[in-house]
Amino acid sequence: MMMIFGYPAPLMFGQLLLGLINGAFYALLSLGLAVIFGMLNIVNFAHGALFMLGAFVAWGMLYYLGINYWWALLLAPIVVGAFGVVLEKLLISRLYKLDHVYGLLLTFGLALIIEGLARNEFGSSGMPYAIPRQLQGAVNLGFMFLPIYRGWVVVAAAVMCLATWLVIEKTSLGATLRAATENAPLVQAFGVNVPRMITLTYAGGAALAAFAGVLAAPIYSVNPNMGANFIIVVFAVVVIGGMGSILGSVVTGFGLGVIEGMTKVFYPQGSATVIFVVMVIVLLARPAGLFGKSA
């Protein structure tokens, strides 16, 4: 058996893959947080709940309506995005003139409600969601077995991150969005409907979270706590990367996932806390975050 640093290679690559998968979710979630924060100036504490909601919508579509995984991957983000529109119009839009802190408190409350209702309805144990037929099985890469679905998650997340980056950086819609982030009143003066843009940005962030949720459904069991477990780590990721840069949050997300995976090989007890330790180190060395501008 091949060994790396005295550890069996399949173990290393297996954990590397798990790390990349977690990293894919960190990247998708922190990307959504960054987009929402840029435009709305709130930290969306409900992001984990929206992620969980995405997984539940996919599960419900399969279970009640017989809608398969591929359609769910398209439809669940739309459903959750529409829910995001309602949340933004009804509640979040009332807070833009207030301190940032209130946005955090409001979305924290929303997360408690969504997760509490899900727990009431489905219990905490979680439901299985089958891997779609086309993605079952594994391929032998020579140095390890790669379960196809896991490879798919990493690729799909990376493509989605790239697509989001392209939309924001390379299209005229993205240019308007970035301009509105910099100076909303001025963009509004040019005749752009900024409030609608803000609503759609929140919906877009929610849809990204739901997309991640559907991807996660076959890997983790679909359960009400799946988002809460992620969101705190994602906050640490956001502190490390800084919310200023799209590409920054993607790179940080994947990178930290890999670091976490490797910690599982070399020092398993530390794997739950390694990201927080990295956060502390970054705070000491570069308080503004790796990709952040100092405030």
Partner 1 sequence: MMGFSRPQWIAFLVMAALVVVAPYVLYPVFLMKVLCFALFACAFNLLVGYVGLLSFGHAAYFGMGAYVSAYAAKAWHLTPEVAIVLGGLTGAAMGSVFGWLAIRRQGIYFAMITLALAQMAYFFCLQAPFTGGEDGIQQVPRGSLFGLIPLHSDMATYWVVAVIFLGVFLLIHRIVHSPFGQVLKAIRENEPRATSLGYRTDDYKLVAFILSAGIAGLAGGTKSLVFGIATLTDVHFSMSGEVVLMTLLGGMGTIFGPVMGALISTSMENYLAEFGAWVSVTQGVIFVVCVIAFRRGVIGELAAKLKIAL
Interacting residues with partner 1 (CB under 8 A): 37, 42-43, 91, 94-95, 98, 100-106, 108-117, 119-120, 232-233, 235-236, 238-239, 269, 272-273, 276-277, 279-280, 283-284, 287-288, 295
d(CA 158, CA 150): 13
Number of neighbours of residue 259 by Cβ within 10 angstroms: 16
What is d(CA 3, CA 237) in angstroms, rounded to the nearest whole number?
31
Q: Region of 287 please: left (phi>0), alpha (psi -120 to 50) or beta.
A: alpha
Q: Which residue has the tokens 């590397």?
A: 16
Strand-pair partners of 4: 7
**CB 158 → partner 1: shortest distance, Å?**
25
Nearer to partner 1, 1 or 295 (CB): 295
> Which C-beta is closer to partner 1: that of 14 or that of 48?
48
Q: Minimum Å distance from CB 242 to partner 1?
A: 9
Find the shortest distance in angstroms from Cβ 267 to partner 1: 12
Q: How far is the CB of 252 from partner 1 (least distance, A)?
A: 14
Stated length of the chain: 295
**Which one, 113 or 141, has the nearer CB to partner 1?**
113
Answer whether 209's CB lies under 8 Å from 80's CB: yes
Q: What is the crossing angle of helices 246-266 and 274-285, to 10°?
A: 130
* Minimal distance, residue 168 CB to partner 1, in Å: 21
Smallest gap from Cβ 292 to partner 1, in A, equals 9
Based on CB atoms, which residue is closest to partner 1, 204 or 292? 292
One-letter amino acid of 295: A
| Residue 29 vs 110, nearer CB to partner 1 | 110
- Distance, in Å, from the CA atom of 295 to the CA atom of 283, rounded to the nearest integer, reads 14
Determine how many CB atoms are found less than 10 A away from the CB of residue 186.
12
Residue (1 or 284) nearer to partner 1, CB: 284
